[in-house]
Amino acid sequence: MAGLLMQRVAILGATGSIGASALDVVARHPDTMRASVLAAGSNVAALVALCRRHRPDDAVIADESGFAALRDGLADAGLATRAHAGAAAIDALASGPGCDTVVAAIVGAAGLDSTLAAARAGKRLLLANKESLVLAGELMMAAAREGGAQIIPIDSEHNAIFQCLPRDGAGAGVRRIVLTASGGPFRGRDRATLANVTPAQAVAHPKWSMGPKISVDSATLMNKGLEVIEACHLFGLPPERVDVLVHPQSLVHSLVEFIDGSTLAQLGLPDMRTALAVGLGWPERVQSGVAGLDLLAHGRLDFEAPDTAAFPCLRLAYAALAAGGTAPAVLNAANEVAVSAFLQGRVGFLSIPVLVEETLEALPARAADTLDALREADNEARRVASAALSRHPA
Ligand code: NAD
Ligand code: MG
């Protein structure tokens, strides 16, 4: 990174799938970058194991009851890493002097405050936590502008678009962007055959290895819906200029169409380390550990339209975007409740879009120009969706 001898990287969500990929890339560049802060939700043993390997200055566990175990685990390992606990400690470390770059990879709305804190503090923000943009995209983009933070999207589609857009004056000459979608494990199936699918089937993604929540979102196509909202905020485009194309091979990560008829795409193997290396090295290219793409070996690239009859979540996300205000926050919160209930075996797969739609209907969009209004909408949607769970038994 230009001007810095050693890029110090805070990895929020270090014990997760993106966290592992980020640590893998950082560890390949011991002379130019190091993990200075590691944060996780509740798995103290996994966090201590990462600290042994990567020796950060600070480690923080969101679950406050894990503090003593973290402190003792670090001491037993003979590490100088300082122990912290609680969400406020994550926010403080994400915005504090101990890091230059923040990898925002906490899952769900739980990642909002730390991502905002990093944006306000002007960090280089490698943004994987799409839910924070869905919930509070305008405020996030304003915080980054005001704080002088550079956001580099890590979601593979948005990272692809970031790479395809001209470096100066992003958006100039762009007609539309096209987000590709793998279609998930149930692509090609009709609604009737989806009633009895299990959480194990839903998280078995054909192309990407990811955490459980985003894997279910990929199976419902809500992931693509969240990504459409994410793209509108990141690239300043209206929803009608953001399209979705199913591409089962997951080799074309997204496309940008310009007004002169040119389309630029970014291709590569489905491995998040590429996007993370783009973020960590930008504007330079750095090694990621990912092999190049052998198109001859893959043979073909297929494309098809998304099936919103079988997978209504994509349609619901566009509707929430059109409704504006608090609607995307409501969509996101209801989806988090529904996905968590599905993963626990409490509701069926087809109940996920039903719960989201019912919650959107129960809570019509209101203006949302403050963080408090959005948090209130998020809380209310969680209450409404949770109360509705019992009406949709598995
Ligand atoms: P994951 O479930 O594997 O990991 C989640 C991480 O968040 C874990 O480290 C967990 O400890 C931490 N966490 C959970 N709740 C927390 C809390 N309240 N406070 C602090 N930390 C908490 O998830 P993932 O697949 O790595 O996804 C992380 C984010 O990145 C999600 O927003 C997801 O949509 C996005 N993303 C992931 C991928 C991918 O390939 N996995 C791709 C694109 C975007
Ligand atoms: Mg994605």
Look at residue 2 in the predicted model and tell me its pLDDT.
Answer: 47
Q: Which atom of ligand 1 is nearest to the CA of 15?
A: 9
What letter does residue 304 receive in the DSSP assignment? B
Look at residue 394 in the predicted model and tell me its pLDDT.
Answer: 83
DSSP for 81-130 reads: PEEEESHHHHHHHHHSTT-SEEEE---SGGGHHHHHHHHHTT-EEEE--H
Q: What is the pTM of this model?
A: 0.97
Task: Give mean pLDDT, residues 257-264.
Answer: 97
96 is a domain residue: yes
Chain mean pLDDT for the chain: 96
Structural domain span for residue 126: 7-153
CATH number, domain with residue 136: 3.40.50.720
Task: Give mean pLDDT, residues 351-374.
Answer: 96
81 is a domain residue: yes
Which amino acid, one-letter code, is at 275? A
Question: What band does 21 get if pLDDT is binned at 50, 70 and 90?
Answer: very high
Q: Is the distance from CB of 283 to CB of 3 less than 8 angstroms?
A: no
Specify the length of the chain in residues.
394
Please count the other Cβ atoms lying within 10 Å of the Cβ belonging to residue 243: 17
Centre of ligand 1 from the C-alpha of residue 295, in Å: 31
56 is a domain residue: yes
Centre of ligand 2 from the C-alpha of residue 158, in Å: 7
146 is a domain residue: yes
**pLDDT exceeds 90 at position 257:** yes
Summarised one tens digit per residue, pLDDT across range 194-213 is: 999 999 999 998 888 999 99
Query: Which residues have CB under 6 Å of ligand 1?
Result: 13-19, 39-41, 43, 62, 105-107, 110, 128-131, 155, 208, 210-211, 213-214, 272
341 is a domain residue: no
Look at residue 169 in the predicted model and tell me its pLDDT.
Answer: 57
126 is a domain residue: yes
Summarised one tens digit per residue, pLDDT across range 311-352 is: 999 999 999 999 999 999 999 999 999 999 999 999 999 999
354 is a domain residue: no
Question: What band does 168 get if pLDDT is binned at 50, 70 and 90?
Answer: low
68 is a domain residue: yes
State the total domains in the chain.
Answer: 1
Produce one character per residue of 361-372: b if its CB has 16 or more CB atoms within 10 Å, e if not: eebebbebeeee
